[in-house]
Amino acid sequence: MNQRTRIKICGLTREADVLAAVEAGADAIGFVMYAKSPRYVSPARAAELARLLPPFVMPVGLFVNATDAELAEGLAALPNMLLQFHGDESPEACNRVGRPYLRAARVTADFDLLDYAQQYSAAQAILLDAHVDGYGGGGKVFDWSLIPRNVRSPVVLSGGLHAGNVLTGITQLRPWAVDVSSGVEAEAKGFKCATLMRQFCAAVRQADALLAEADVNQPD
């Protein structure tokens, strides 16, 4: 039977957006601690925003090729956050921190996800994003048909998701979670739209309902 798809909304910078994301139904809130990102927040600012989160909504800290000192600063500010490595970090670098983490993968036609998941077998999940210049998916959708069905690690679908396509992504791939950023922004990067977040979360729940119905109707 299909389980509920978790929802991560990433790149939040404002108190009102954090509250709206939680109200919409987000399971995790992502804070970008990569200084070159337009959605960057400092560890201290991320900690301020995370204080608004109720129990069982997870703060996630996104890092790109961070130094040990930068990681330590982030963890000191937000000791309970889940790490997300979105750069060129090796398995050894990710594991050395000794904390639960997500590992982002940039999907291309020749990308071997099965091998990648094996290399990062200690990751809580593999986050699948589009391959663009720089780091992050740039709001682009990649070819979902490239994803094999027999990945042992939980998969987080990301890259260009919005309320209009997330239902298809979930019903096609059945990921453990979905991750959205630009797809719920109506203004500048880092400024989320409460309406778009509600629509996105509602589309995820609709996809789950369709999958649950399909599972029930499967022949024995």
CA gap 102, 177 in Å, rounded: 12
145, two tokens: 């048909």
By annotation, the residues acting in catalysis are: 10, 129
Helix pair angle (68-77, 43-50), 10° resolution: 30
Nearest to 130 by CA among 117, 116, 146: 146
